[in-house]
Amino acid sequence: MITRRDWLTSAALVGGAALAGRRLSAQTQDPHAGHAQGGHSHHPAPPAESHHGAAGSGPSIVRPVVAPPSRAEVRRMRADLGYTPVTTPDGITARWRRNVAWKEFHLVAHEVDQTFAPGMTVKAWGYNGGTPGPTIEAVEGDSVRIFVTNHLPEHTTVHWHGLFLPNGMDGVGGLLQPHIRPGETYVYEFELRQHGTFMYHPHADEMVQMALGMAGFFIVHPKRPRKEPIDRDFCILPHMWAIHPGTYRPDPMVMLDFDLFTFNGRAFPGTSPLVVRQDDRVRLRFANVSMTSHPIHIHGHRFWVTETDGGQIPESAWIPETSLDIVAGQTRAVDFVADAPGDWPLHCHKTHHAMNAMGHDLPNPIGADLEAVGRKISGLVPGFVEMGTTGMAEHAEHAGHMQLPENTLPMMAGQGPFGSIEMGGMFTVVKVRDGIESYGDPGWFDHPDGTVARRVEDAPTDLALW
């Protein structure tokens, strides 16, 4: 059985250097236990040895597989911490330690091998073993000290997007601070004077560094939370990438024609489901550092927009939505009560954002009579298969047996209980189940009788006609 400590520890940073000679739990604070451990220097120093090696060689940071918590564990943590800890699907929460008055965190910027979905690994830039970086979680009023070690091949900084802080801690390279050169560690210190959903990301060569995946959540819980506790608090960072099929590294030169779309660095069918218990109060937080907006849509529910990156919205001003456009540079939080059991998609409603890689500049075969010429082309180009004249669903059917370019994902994929789901990219499923005690994947929804659309033999003959 997985204990709370196991889960929290496993959710923490596992650094190659940190693993060398020290037990993680001996030095670092259980990030959610909220009590201090003494014996640390008051002078700022990174939590692990600062000998990660020369720039470019980078630390070997491998994120652990995080086991889903039980409902009881979440409740205990809420009791201990005073807030429901945020879950970052397919990501991790940053470890921290108490050093007298400071909550100390450590971000290590480096190149990472990120699996978007089985069959596709990306050489991205991120923090602490992945992209997005670990979710920093603190409470309004905390004083945070954040070490930033740069193991990128170029300088960087970290900008704390939306936070109130001293000007010199805002992280704009050149304007507000020297750049953090490769191999260097800088420290940021500031008091959290607000609460809400925020981000961190570089403000040095930011076009490149964000295109390669550098961003993360900074969650500040309110000192005085609302009466109705949040049962499940998820943060999702939609991002879009130009990773041309057959390549491994995002192409930062692309401005518009992106071809991969992720939630927390995973593309469907690589995204993990959001598992909630029926009637849980669920919070979804979104942050967007990509170059366009993402209208996030939930099925079967409506959510209330409760927070902007400016803070909580008074309840009287909450608005119900089923789609919320998260524009570039914004964060938003929405709350809803998961009152409808089932498997409910949550996805970006820009349809190409809920697809995987495909070309955007090729002839449209739909409706064309291409059978004869297709045979001719098959004779000229061995292996050619004429597809798409009746639509593109057959691409999902063929995806399993046709050899695609290396390191990419089928444009439509995912197998559900009724067949091919034919989605990709920014798509996941909110699994609402009655009476569950664990937030592990419960499998496909077992629909009550008579609640699934069915085929009928006799279609009406007159209703569609005028």
Binding to other proteins by residue 358, rule CB under 8 A? yes
Q: Do the Cβ atoms of 20 and 60 come closer than 8 Å?
A: no
Nearer to other proteins, 174 or 400 (CB): 400
CB of 374 to other proteins, least distance (A): 8
User: Which secondary structure element, helix H or strand E, spans residue 10, and what is its range?
Assistant: helix 4-10
Contact pick of 274, 357, 421, 432 for other proteins (by CB under 8 A): 357
Q: Do the Cβ atoms of 219 and 198 come closer than 8 Å?
A: yes
Closest C-alpha among 277, 296, 288 to residue 334: 296
User: Candidates 121-129, 271-279, 289-297, 387-395 — which segment interacts with other proteins by CB under 8 A?
Assistant: 387-395
Binding to other proteins by residue 410, rule CB under 8 A? yes
Nearer to other proteins, 369 or 462 (CB): 369
CB of 367 to other proteins, least distance (A): 4
**Interface with other proteins: number of residues (CB under 8 A):** 37
Binding to other proteins by residue 444, rule CB under 8 A? no
Contact pick of 26, 380, 459, 464 for other proteins (by CB under 8 A): 380
Nearer to other proteins, 226 or 398 (CB): 398
What's CA 424's distance to the chain center, in Å? 15
Nearer to other proteins, 380 or 459 (CB): 380
User: Candidates 21-29, 161-169, 267-275, 353-361 — which segment interacts with other proteins by CB under 8 A?
Assistant: 353-361
User: Candidates 103-111, 171-179, 297-305, 359-367 — which segment interacts with other proteins by CB under 8 A?
Assistant: 359-367
> How many angstroms separate the CA atoms of 206 and 159, rounded?
10
Contact pick of 140, 183, 404, 440 for other proteins (by CB under 8 A): 404
Contact pick of 21, 118, 314, 382 for other proteins (by CB under 8 A): 382
> Beta strands of 140-209 (E only): which ranges?
143-150, 159-161, 185-191, 196-201
Contact pick of 54, 65, 253, 366 for other proteins (by CB under 8 A): 366
Nearer to other proteins, 229 or 400 (CB): 400
Give the CA count within 13 Å in the CB-facing half-sphere of 346: 31
Binding to other proteins by residue 392, rule CB under 8 A? yes
Pairing between β-strand 281-287 and β-strand 331-337 as defined by DSSP bridges: antiparallel
Binding to other proteins by residue 245, rule CB under 8 A? yes
> How many angstroms separate the CA atoms of 81 and 186, rounded?
28
CB of 416 to other proteins, least distance (A): 21
Contact pick of 315, 369, 449, 457 for other proteins (by CB under 8 A): 369
> How many angstroms separate the CA atoms of 72 and 69, rounded?
8
C-alpha distances (whole Å) from 210 to each of 10, 290, 300, 421, 456 are 27, 8, 33, 30, 50
User: Candidates 199-207, 300-308, 381-389, 429-437 — which segment interacts with other proteins by CB under 8 A?
Assistant: 381-389
322: which residues sit within 8 A by CB, 6+ positions away?
297, 298, 299, 301, 302, 303
Binding to other proteins by residue 368, rule CB under 8 A? yes
Q: Do the Cβ atoms of 404 and 410 come closer than 8 Å?
A: yes
> How many angstroms separate the CA atoms of 279 and 432, rounded?
9
Nearer to other proteins, 161 or 350 (CB): 350
Contact pick of 181, 223, 302, 376 for other proteins (by CB under 8 A): 376
Query: What DSSP designation does 448 have?
Result: P
Nearer to other proteins, 241 or 303 (CB): 241
Q: Is the dihedral of CA 19, 20, 22, 27 positive or negative?
A: negative
> How many angstroms separate the CA atoms of 48 and 128, rounded?
12
Residues binding other proteins (CB under 8 A):
245-246, 357-359, 362-370, 372-373, 376-377, 380-385, 387-388, 392, 395, 398-399, 402-405, 408, 410-411
